[in-house]
Structure 1
Amino acid sequence: MFKKLSLGFFSASLAAVLIFAGCKSKFEKLKASNDNLKKYQEAIKYYNKKEYTKALELFDDLSVKYRGRQGAEDMFYYYAYTNYKLKDFTSARYQFKNFAENYQADPRAEECRFMAAYCFYLDSPNYTLDQDNTTKAIEALQLFINLYPKSDRVAEASKLIQDLRDKLEEKSYTNAKLYLTIMDYQSAVIAFGNSLRDYPDTKYAEEMDFLTIKAQYLYAKNSNERRQEERYNQAISFHDQFVEKYPNSKYLKEAASLKKDSENGIKQVQRFMAEAATNVRLARKLAQKDSVKIQVPSEKQQSQKIPN
């Protein structure tokens, strides 16, 4: 009885293995064959069944053999979408772009031009990382709008561009704040100014204008005494511009405190410079100082880098 059951189980297992091997063998034989029409038909079937990996293997082979042939556009259209379905957006955008450029008269050229740009959009990374693909995505989407200004996809392309610009804005804001965190105050002032120039309508405008005052004050405070007065005065100027621009800002109290500290800093440095004018030792010491005091960041601050 046991032998019969074992033999039956072995026979069933063997049959299953042979069936599986036969299916695999059928696909491998198809891949190795020169029947391109059959390959194309089966690739479409695999694509429609969402078996994109198998479809891609066949399309990879067909892409070489179909190049330049009549009717090749259908194959390349499917080829691009197969890469897209597999989330290989780099390959997909390359294929979509090629289709749009090689088959400009095809009704699907507009769609493929948009999809090429959209693949760049999908490959745009988190704002903390390098934003090269984000910039390229904006350029590609803008090119699409320029080429097809009456397209139904223009509204979507415009929205995607805004999403990408928001990401660049976020990165610019974060990088500027990081300069302040690592105590590179002069760079922080410059970075805040650049960010506000590049994104004048940013939602962070009020905060960055306030932080500009703070960064300038700290820059002045950590400067050589010879340069402190002019730099404190710049902090005061930033404060006055801020109050005029944001009369009801939540930062007014802190901004006023920074202005007062700047004014006190000016008085203090004026007394110091007056004393240095009559004190040879103090004057000699002042002459030896660098234009900005050397700041030694902590280990934590040293580990923080400004991303690209």
Structure 2
Amino acid sequence: MFKKQLSFVAGLLAVLIIALGSCKSKFEKLKASNDNSKKYKEALRYYNEKKYGRALELLDDLVQRYRGREGYEDLFYYYAYSNYKLRDYTSARYHFKTFADTYPSSSRAEECRFMSAYCYYLDSPIYSLDQENTSKAIEALQYFITLYPKSDRVAEAGKLIQNLRDKLEEKSYQNAKLYLTIEDYQAAVISFNNTLRDYPDTKYAEEIEFLTVKAQYLFAKNSLETKQEERYAQAITYADEFLEKHADSKYVKDAAEYKKDSQSGIENAKRVLAQVRFNPKKAKELAEKDTTVQSQPPSVKDQHPELEN
């Protein structure tokens, strides 16, 4: 009895394998054929059945054969969407843009122009990675709004742009904090100021303004005595601006402390410089110290060539 059941199961599996092989063979034969009309019909069937991989295989061949012929517009539209459905956003955005450029008068041109920008949006990585696609997505979405100011998609495009700008803001903020963490205080001050300039309405404004005070103070503290007075003075300026603007901030006590320490730092720097005038040995030591090249992370030099040595 057991042997009969085993034979029956084996036979059933054999039939299924043959049937599956036959189906695959049928598809491969269709791909290799010159029956473009049937290929097109089957490609749309696969697309509507959400079998985008097979649809794309057939459409990929058809777009080469139909180029410039009647029906190419519809075919290319589904070709772009097949790439999109398969999450190949790089290919999809290219084909959507090509469609919009090729058929600017088409009823689908607006949709494809938006989808091209949206694919850039979907390809925008997390804030810590390179943001080239984020910037390109913003440009593409803004271009869409310029081309179609009355489109129903303008509101959505605006929301997407804001999401992308928030990501760039986060990257700018985190990069500035990283400079502070690695003790590159001058780069931190510059980066914090750049973040406030580029994103004046940032939700991190209060914290950034306090960290600017801290970074400037530490920059002055770690500078040569010959440069400390000016740099401490800048720290005091930042502290005064912060204390006036954020009187109720949780950072008030620390900001006031940095101001006090900066005032003490100025007095100490003046004393050291006064001693140097009457102490040739100390003057020589300070001069030698002043000519020492300070090391700096390559990334900071690359991004901020205006930094001093």
TM-score range normalised by the length of the shorter chain: over 0.9
For 1:1-308, what aligned pairs fall within 5 Å after superposition? Answer: 4-290=4-290, 294=294
TM-score by length of 1: 0.93
For 2:151 and 2:210, how far apart are their aligned partners in 1?
43
Q: 1:123-166 CA distances to partner (integer Å, 9 max, x unpaired)?
A: 00000000000000000000000000000000000000000000
The superposition leaves residues 53-93 of structure 1 with CA deviations (integer Å, 9 ceiling, x where unpaired) of 11110111111111111121111111111111111100111
**Change over 3 Å in CA distance of 1:211–1:100 after alignment to 2:** same
Give the Cα separation in 2 of the matches to 1:217 and 1:50. 61
Letter aligned with residue 100 of structure 1? A
How has the CA–CA distance of structure 1 residues 307 and 20 changed in structure 2, closer, same or farther, with 3 Å as cutoff?
A: farther
Judging changes above 3 Å, is the alpha-carbon distance between structure 1 residues 292 and 185 closer, same or farther for their aligned structure 2 residues? farther
3-state SS of paired residue (2:290): coil
Asked if the contact 2:188/2:212 (under 8 Å) is kept, the reply is yes
2:307 alignment counterpart: none
Higher relative CO (Cα under 8 Å, sequence separation at least 6) belongs to 1
Question: Number of paired residues?
Answer: 303
CA distance in 1, matches of 2:123, 2:239: 41
Deviations 1:14-63 (A, max 9, x none): 21111111101110001000011100110111111111111110111111
**Are the structure 2 counterparts of residues 307 and 21 from structure 1 closer, same or farther at C-alpha, using a change threshold of 3 Å?**
farther
Structure 1: runs of 5 or more not aligned: 297-301
How many Å apart are 1:276 and its aligned residue? 1.3
**In 1, Cα distance between the equivalents of 2:147 and 2:200?**
28
> For the residues of structure 1 that align with 2:209 and 2:101, how far apart are their CA atoms?
46
* Matched residue type, 1:192: F
The Cα offsets for residues 158-190 of structure 1, whole Å up to 9 and x where unpaired, read as 000000000000000000111111111111111
Q: Does the Cα contact within 8 Å between 2:187 and 2:300 map onto a contact in 1?
A: no
Change (3 A) 1:22 1:130: same
Structure 1 residues 36, 280: CA separation in 2 closer, same or farther (over 3 Å shift)? same
Distance 1:118 1:278, change over 3 A: same
Superposed displacement of residue 266, structure 1? 1.0
Q: State, as a whole percentage, how many aligned pairs show the same letter.
A: 64
RMSD: 2.1
Alignment check: 8 A CA contact 1:224 1:293 kept: no
Distance 1:95 1:204 in 2: 39
TM superposition shift of 1:8: 3.1
Evaluate the alpha carbon distance shift between residue 28 and residue 197 of structure 1 in structure 2; reply closer, same or farther with a 3 A threshold.
same
Give the structure 1 partner of residue 306 of structure 2.
Answer: none
CA distance in 2, matches of 1:292, 1:185: 18
**Rounded Cα–Cα distance in structure 2 between residues aligned with 1:293 and 1:282:** 19
Q: Which amino acid aligns with 1:89?
A: Y
Deviation at 1:240, TM superposition (A): 1.0
Structure 2 unaligned blocks of 5 or more: 304-309
